[in-house]
Amino acid sequence: MARLFITEREINFINDIAKEAVKDVIGQKIYYFPISEIKSNIHSVYEESPEKIFENPICLDGLVKYQPQEIRANKFGSEEYYTIEAYVQERDLLDKEIEIKEGDFFSYGTVFFEIITSPDSNTIYGQVEHKGFITITGKQSRKGQFIAKVFGPTDEKYSDPNAVQDSFYQQRGFSTNAEGATGDVRELQKRGVLDAPLTGPGEVSEQGDPTSAGSSFYDES
């Protein structure tokens, strides 16, 4: 598409719509564990660290796709092995000053994954400087390779308080919602092209469920 018709305003609109779909409708997330280059002792020649120290996890909104499960045999029997893809919006990473790197880890459910690739998925209408999403491909980490706290939701077969997510909070360009700081930026709101929503972030929670049938959409309006 010609740059005559796809200007910066259209690019911002496309990015804002993508954020709305991912953050305000779909609601999938991963927890990203970046390696601390300051805390880890990195070899000056090989640029690797025998003992990696990770920063605190960062919650990232995205679209998650499991690959078909592999069953691998070892000396103890068979083992389930997962590969996963997570699509994270490039503009959201830029807003939060996050750079995804190969060798870092992330979790989804109860499984931890090592990032093996993280290329750009596409450009927006062929404009090379504007990327849509990056594709984070992770392979399941070996037992003992990475140990950290598991963040929910995980699985309904568990009894932990956060095993099943019973609430969902939109962001809608607000700096905070019921869960705290969001880091969310909607460029057209920021530039005054669009007004911020009058009703604030909506939510799916017990507040919208007077009959106790299950969480329902709740809006203060």
pTM given for the model: 0.88
Q: In this structure, which amino acid lies at residue 151?
A: F
Element (DSSP H or E) covering residue 8:
helix 8-21
Cα separation of 116 and 137, whole Å? 6
How does pLDDT run across 43-73, given as a tens digit for each residue? 566 566 666 788 899 999 999 998 877 777 7
Most confident of 70-74, 75-79, 140-144, 186-190: 186-190
Which pLDDT does position 143 carry in this prediction? 78
How does pLDDT run across 99-158, given as a tens digit for each residue? 999 999 999 999 999 999 999 999 999 999 999 999 999 999 987 888 899 999 999 999
Cα separation of 57 and 149, whole Å? 9
Cα separation of 171 and 185, whole Å? 9
User: How far, in whole angstroms, is CA 207 from its chain's centroid?
Assistant: 26
- Each domain of the chain, given as residue ranges in start order, spans 8-165
